[in-house]
Amino acid sequence: MRLRTTVAAAVGALALVITLPASAGAAEGDFTYQHVDEAGIAQSSTLVDPRSRECITLPEVQDERTAPAHSPRNNTDATATVFSGADCEGLHFSLRPNGGKASERLKVRSVVFS
CA 46 from centre of chain: 10
Query: Which of helix, strand or coil describes residue 22?
Result: coil
Q: What is the rounded CA–CA span in Å between residue 74 and residue 29?
A: 8
In single-letter form, the type of residue at position 94 comes to: S
CATH of span 29-113: 2.60.20.10
pLDDT 10s digits, 51-91? 999 999 999 999 999 999 999 999 999 999 999 999 999 99
Counting residues of the chain whose pLDDT is more than 70, the rounded percentage is 79
Distances (CA, A) of 107 to 13, 30, 42: 49, 19, 14
Higher pLDDT, 2 or 102: 102
Q: Tell whether pTM > 0.75.
A: yes
Phi, psi of 5 (to 5 degrees): -65, -40
CA dihedral 4, 5, 8, 14 (to 10 degrees): -130
Q: Looking at residue 21, what is its pLDDT? A: 43
CA-CA distances (angstroms) from residue 99 to 47, 60, 62, 79, 85?
14, 23, 25, 10, 23
pLDDT band of 2, cuts 50, 70, 90:
low
Confidence at 37, pLDDT banded by 50, 70, 90: very high
